[in-house]
Amino acid sequence: MKPRIQLLGDKGYQGIKHYHKFSLTPHKTTKKCPLTPQQKEDNRQLASRRVVVENIIRCLKVFRILSSRYRNRRKRFCLRFNLIAGLYNYELKLATSL
């Protein structure tokens, strides 16, 4: 991994900081140590950044290339995925131009 790439993860990626120092994960709360208002705000900001990516993944799953097992040639996976991403970008461009 390139060291300057920022990784945004959910609570399932809590230990990723050991492998990638530019990673961001939400703060966890416990019974003994509740979250401070600043930590809650940090979690909200991280969630608002991550929701954009999650919505794009949801739209790409409509084409079933990400949601089910890919049963075609592996050589064609990158080509087909790039074509689907291009279709999504084209649709997004049309929606923002209106």
Tokens describing residue 29: 């709360």
Distances (CA, A) of 34 to 39, 45, 66: 10, 18, 37
Q: Quote the pLDDT of residue 24.
A: 87
- Answer for the pair 27, 43: CB distance below 8 angstroms, yes or no: yes
- Answer for the pair 26, 43: CB distance below 8 angstroms, yes or no: yes
Bridge partners (DSSP) listed for residue 8? 24
Specify the residue for token string 């390139």.
2
Q: Quote the pLDDT of residue 45.
A: 94
Per-residue pLDDT of 17-75, as tens digits, reads 888 888 888 988 889 999 999 999 999 999 999 898 888 888 888 877 777 777 777 78
- Answer for the pair 10, 26: CB distance below 8 angstroms, yes or no: yes
| Neighbouring residues of 35: CB distance < 8 A, sequence distance ≥ 6 | 27, 29, 43
What is the rounded average pLDDT of the residues 77-96?
83
